[in-house]
Amino acid sequence: MRIIKTIGYGIFSIIGLTALLLLILYLTQTSDYEVTQITGCKSDSQITVYCEFSKPEDIVVLPDDRHLLISEFGAIIPLSPENLPGQISLFDTDTMKKKPIKLTLGENVWGDNNCQRDDLLLSPHGIDLNQRSDGRYQLAVINHMPQETVEMFELLNVNDDWVLQWRGCVNAPETAYFNDVALRSDGSFFSTHMYEKGISYLSLAYITYAKPDTGYVYQWNNDNGFIRVPNSDGSFPNGISISDDETNLFINYVFNHRTSRLNLKNLTIEAEHFSKGTPDNSSIDGEFIWVAVQDNTGTDLLIHCDESVVQCSLPFTIYKLRQDDLSEVEIFSFKQTQMGSVTVGVPHKEKVWLGTFMGDRIASFNLNQE
């Protein structure tokens, strides 16, 4: 009987502590936002929307300066009970229409020989496109299905159509859970490890409050495999970009509300930018870098944007920063508009193009608008 009582008290204590944690999170991590109920595919005075996508989480501009390549995100655990498939697609900025892109299997020449596949099932997340030193265009894709990998594709133009030919993959370390990737011209890359694979929802909720270090940046090349990058630890590393001269990494840490510039020569943090929101992906633009920030907490997301919501409308900000010191050049903030939970802002043709991890659309706003 005493053992049963002890077990009962233990269970009651765990339930009580869990309830207390959830109450603390609700009281300290919620905002008094007014959100727009989004129905249909309608633009407004702030942004122009283009629908028929599914979680268009990351965007890169293709070499023709016309098409956007878009990663249509599947899902990550524990925000979803399981990983889900997604796809890669195109958007034509001349016709303003979504287009498919053909993916074909090829020889593994850019990946690890131990990583092979016989189909192209993908659950894409962060992507990066870079011109290799031999002139060919390499696309790297963070992929969560059927296992955790970084997939490599060659971008080819065949009869005036863009095609992605698979050129290999790299298996992630056993406990790694990747978010984004940054390519070098020699085919090596850096990737952000968010947190340990298999983390519980409750643990992630606690992390949003306590903000301990949960991950770091990996570097990979064919000779040495994965190496942990010194001084890259933080709370939920997310978007990552590399400067055009490949001397600096820019890393976004979600729960630290921080963007850091890591000098790759001396491996020290030389500049930081802090925001009130949670920084997601970034985009290199000459001497500048554009950072997308979600101006909400994880608790806000649970309250306003559960799985029944087609397009989340929580507020967001796009920062244009100087690369050398991460000082603010311009700030574009949005609320109660026709898109939210924005993950990326890519400047192109006097517009900034927006993606989201929770919605059915991409969007743009004019840089020269009053």
Residue 2 domain-assigned (yes or no)? no
Q: Give me the pLDDT at residue 279, please.
A: 98
Q: Give me the pLDDT at residue 1, please.
A: 54
Count of domains observed in the chain: 1
Give the other-Cβ count within 10 Å of 359's Cβ: 29
**Alpha helices per DSSP H over 178-256:** 201-210
Residue 356 domain-assigned (yes or no)? yes
Q: Is 159 left (phi over 0), alpha (psi -120 to 50) or beta?
A: left
Residue 3 domain-assigned (yes or no)? no
Tokens of 320: 């244009």
pTM: 0.90
What is the C-alpha separation between 232 and 325, in angstroms, rounded?
Answer: 18
Residue 21 domain-assigned (yes or no)? no
What is the C-alpha separation between 253 and 159, in angstroms, rounded?
Answer: 42
Q: pLDDT for 120-143, tens place per residue?
A: 999 999 999 999 999 999 999 999
Contact 152, 142 (CB under 8 A): no
Residue 58 domain-assigned (yes or no)? yes
What is the C-alpha separation between 143 and 62, in angstroms, rounded?
Answer: 20
Residue 13 domain-assigned (yes or no)? no
CA 357 to chain centre: 8
Nearest to 186, CA basis, from 225, 136, 232: 136
Amino acid at the residue 59: I
Residue ranges in the chain modelled with pLDDT below 50: 5-10, 12-14, 17-28
State the CATH number of the domain containing residue 44.
2.120.10.30
Residue 26 domain-assigned (yes or no)? no
Q: Give me the pLDDT at residue 148, please.
A: 96
Tokens of 107: 């020889």
Q: Give me the pLDDT at residue 127, please.
A: 98
Q: pLDDT for 29-81, tens place per residue?
A: 555 566 778 889 999 999 999 999 999 999 999 999 999 999 999 988 777 77
Residue 25 domain-assigned (yes or no)? no
Q: Give me the pLDDT at residue 26, please.
A: 46
Which structural domain range is residue 203 located in?
31-366
DSSP string computed for 249-272: EEEEETTTTEEEEEETTTTEEEEE
